[in-house]
Amino acid sequence: MSKILLVPIIFFFFLSPVYLLAQVDVNDGEKKEEEVKYPQYQLKGLLQARYLESFGDNVDVLGMHHSTGDPTQSSFDIKRMRVGLNTKLSKETEVVILVNLADFKSDTKGKVLENAYGKYTFNKYIALTGGQFRPAFGIEELVPVDIIKSFDFSNQYYEFGKNGWTSFQIGASATGTFDIGKIPVNYAVSVLNGNGKNVEMDKDNGKQYSTRWVFELSKEHKINLGLNGGYGRVFKEKVFAVGVDFTSDFKLTDKLSFDLQIEYKQGTNHNLYFSLPAENRVGDVSNYQMRGIYFLPNLRYMVNYKKLTAFEVSCRYETFDPSYKVNSNVRQTYTPMISLEFGKAYTGRIELGFEIDRFDRNVPDTSTYNDELFLIQLQLRL
């Protein structure tokens, strides 16, 4: 067996607590369940339709600055039109497929197909996933975009996705849960190509290894502490990523609740480094590091009046620097939002608010430019 194949296998099984815990059969002594017929199918869907209006100085609705011409500053848009199928082949085996049909409105290369993976669950301690999926590395990886408390994922989420740690990646993962004393712990260990979705093969022989550990500190208030770490090689250069996050949800009254998300990440921006001509790079890849933090508080009031279920108010604040050691240019983003929920679990949702960007330094004719974008979004999910 070659060294290239041996390293991922050792990492995949050695770091996870499989052999310490997988020997326990959690079904021992339980009553036999009624016979269930397989396969089982569950169809899922999501529509996000938007009206956008940019109030930035010569900035279009996609955030691009135009020093000449007449940019489009108001437009209707289909952000997402997702169709997914979850298939249970047996109690232990499932196959998940998810496509975003809205990607057909532009160049489809590397787009459209999002989830395409199989998962086998041995017990609560260990499940194996392989294919194209979202590896666990932070809060946002575990939350579908249709139930997040803001219009979209954070800037850091997308930038770390470009660097192979978040968003849809191809590889394999082991996940599970166990207890340390009275504290429930969820873990994930992943091995990834690290060059995004819908690609024929890895861009090099290097792999990216990541892990996430979540400690449930309070079940009553849903207080969770997450720790994330990753290491790998890209074109023979060493790269890394780390992160820490915190979530909580406090019930203030019978109808009013307050939840909070805080997440910090830092890592090598090798995507930026290798995108530059060799003569324009400053030092080696270790000089190109990104870091960011965001706070997302959300107030939720249960209305339950006719078809209106709940009313929510949130405002995410994020600061992110794609290269804080070389040519630093911090981006601060404010996203105040009001949301009306209809039905259960965000079956229907109407959101309105702003995405306000402020950069330390504007760069003309790029998306690195101050902007104020007004949004109204209609969301329907199946």
> For the residues 257-283, what does the mean pLDDT come to?
96
Give 165's pLDDT tier (boundaries 50, 70, 90). Answer: very high
- 3-state DSSP assignment of residue 301: strand
Residue 174 token pair: 């082991």
Q: Which amino acid is at 310?
A: A
d(CA 374, CA 356): 9
pLDDT of residue 296 exceeding 80: yes
The per-residue pLDDT for range 344-375, each reduced to its tens digit, is 888 999 999 999 999 999 999 999 999 999 99
User: CA nearest 143: which of 371, 323, 345, 368?
Assistant: 345
DSSP annotation of 163: T
Token pair listed for 166: 């978040």
Q: 226-242 pLDDT, tens per residue? A: 999 999 999 999 999 99
Nearest 5°: CA angle at 174, between 241 and 13? 90
Distances (CA, A) of 278 to 100, 174, 272, 274, 282: 36, 37, 12, 8, 9
Class of the CATH-defined domain 40-381 = mainly beta
- Condensed to tens digits (0 to 9), the pLDDT of residues 179-207 reads 999 999 999 999 999 999 999 899 999 99
Phi, psi of 274 (to 5 degrees): -80, -15
Residue 219 has pLDDT above 80, yes or no: yes
CA-to-CA distance for 53 and 371, rounded, in angstroms?
Answer: 11
pLDDT for 13:
40
pLDDT per residue as tens digits for the range 112-153? 999 999 999 999 999 999 999 999 999 998 888 888 899 999
Q: Is the pLDDT of residue 319 over 60?
A: yes
Could you give the CA distance from residue 110 to residue 97 in angstroms, rounded to a whole number? 16
In the structure, what pLDDT confidence band is assigned to residue 34 with cuts at 50, 70 and 90?
low
Strand partners, 227: 213, 244
Structure tokens at 310: 């709940």
pLDDT tier at 178, thresholds 50, 70, 90? very high
Is a pLDDT exceeding 50 seen at residue 47? yes
